[in-house]
Amino acid sequence: MKLTISNLSKTYPNGTRALDNVSIEIQTGMFGLLGPNGAGKSTLMRTIATLQMPDSGSIQLNELNVLTQKKEVRQILGYLPQEFGVYPKISAESLLDHLAVLKGITHKGTRKELVKALLEKTNLYHVRKKRLGGFSGGMKQRFGIAQALLTRPKLIIVDEPTAGLDPAERNRFHNLLSELGEEAIVILSTHIVDDVKELCTDMAIINHGKILMQGNPLAAISEVEGRVWKKRIHKSKLKEYRNNYQLISEKLIAGQPEIHVLSDENPGEGFLSTEADLEDVYFSYIHKSQAATSPVSA
């Protein structure tokens, strides 16, 4: 499978340019679309999922024109939106069965087998009779996957899936996704760098509606390798360091800030060389794009 997105642009009626000339090529496997809130991810996901139209550009899925052949695309599409709304009073098994009917699986025996297989695959068979309203966040997400798989999709779109999942639920969800990536295109849209690091063989970073990079996460990391420097500082010094250095990230470790800077040379001042990770890659692109669009703050 190959999904080719070319020169896609979208400006909402209020003037927000959500997509700005987006071009990406995506092959079978797990693809991560990484960007902060408001970057344009959902707009892009909904457009690929045939739920909204761009102002210009094209999307091709193998021989299908996604923007005009919506019906054909929907037959091979599995879409798991940010919030999968469920009917709280109905059981997982009944809703899945009902959704299967809507998808055109009318033969009762076939449907029964399919529903059973999907509930088993998503590890929900033991709670199949339970009301969906009583499901945890992770169970709802897995139910979302089960419904997305009703039609053996070739293209699976998962929008911000792991927000609110506990580590064990997230793990289970990751395993399920990576299994799907073996035979379909799975696009995972997220602001969580670790989700992409753990799962994806290809990725893009988006901000302000623009694609800032596309490539293999490990290759992207090796590009900044040797240029990332870290330092533990006192909280009170954070502002001073922000002013004097190009920080790519700040995180608290045991309550104390650790800052990372990107520099070809050792910045001195007690900075230590550190192994680069995907977060360094991500923040270096995001900061570059912020600097390009906002005035320098004093």
State yes or no: residue 115 binds ligand ADP (CB under 6 A): no
Rounded Cα distance between 298 and 246, Å, is 13
State yes or no: residue 16 binds ligand ADP (CB under 6 A): yes
DSSP code string of 273-289 = E----HHHHHHHHHHHH
The interface with ligand ADP within residues 129-148 (CB under 6 A) comprises: none
Q: Which of 3, 5, 8, 18 binds ligand ADP (CB under 6 A)?
A: 18
CB neighbours of residue 75 within 10 Å: 15
Closer to ligand ADP by CB, 39 or 205: give it: 39
Piece of the chain touching ligand ADP by CB under 6 A; list 35-43, 110-118, 168-176, 283-291: 35-43
State yes or no: residue 204 binds ligand ADP (CB under 6 A): no
HEC profile of 132-200: HHHCCHHHHHHHHHHHHCCCCCCEEEEECCCCCCCHHHHHHHHHHHHHHCCCCEEEEEECCHHHHHHHC
Least distance in angstroms from the C-beta of 171 to ligand ADP = 24
State yes or no: residue 190 binds ligand ADP (CB under 6 A): no
Closer to ligand ADP by CB, 111 or 208: give it: 208
The interface with ligand ADP within residues 67-86 (CB under 6 A) comprises: none
CB within 8 Å of 290: residues ≥ 6 apart: 207
State yes or no: residue 156 binds ligand ADP (CB under 6 A): no
State yes or no: residue 222 binds ligand ADP (CB under 6 A): no
DSSP code string of 78-135 = EEE-SS----TTSBHHHHHHHHHHHTT---HHHHHHHHHHHHHHTT-GGGTTSBGGG-
Least distance in angstroms from the C-beta of 286 to ligand ADP = 12
Would you say 89 and 134 are in contact if contact means Cβ atoms under 8 Å apart?
no
**CA contacts within 13 A on the Cβ side of 296:** 6
Closer to ligand ADP by CB, 12 or 87: give it: 12
Binding mask 38-67 for ligand ADP (x = CB under 6 A): xxxxxx------------------------
**Which amino acid type is present at position 154?**
K
Query: How many residues in the shown chain lie near ligand ADP by CB under 6 A?
Result: 12
Least distance in angstroms from the C-beta of 51 to ligand ADP = 11
State yes or no: residue 228 binds ligand ADP (CB under 6 A): no
Least distance in angstroms from the C-beta of 39 to ligand ADP = 4
Closer to ligand ADP by CB, 150 or 187: give it: 187
The pair of three-digit structure tokens given for residue 132, joined into one six-digit string: 């969906």
Would you say 67 and 59 are in contact if contact means Cβ atoms under 8 Å apart?
yes
Closer to ligand ADP by CB, 7 or 244: give it: 7
- CA torsion sign for 64, 67, 71, 73 is positive
Q: Which of 32, 35, 153, 161 binds ligand ADP (CB under 6 A)?
A: 35
Piece of the chain touching ligand ADP by CB under 6 A; list 10-18, 57-65, 236-244, 284-292: 10-18
List the helix and strand counts (H, then E) for the chain.
10, 14
Rounded Cα distance between 177 and 86, Å, is 20
**Cα-to-chain-centroid distance, residue 190:** 3
Closer to ligand ADP by CB, 122 or 189: give it: 189
Binding site for ligand ADP (CB under 6 A): 12, 14, 16, 18, 35, 37-43
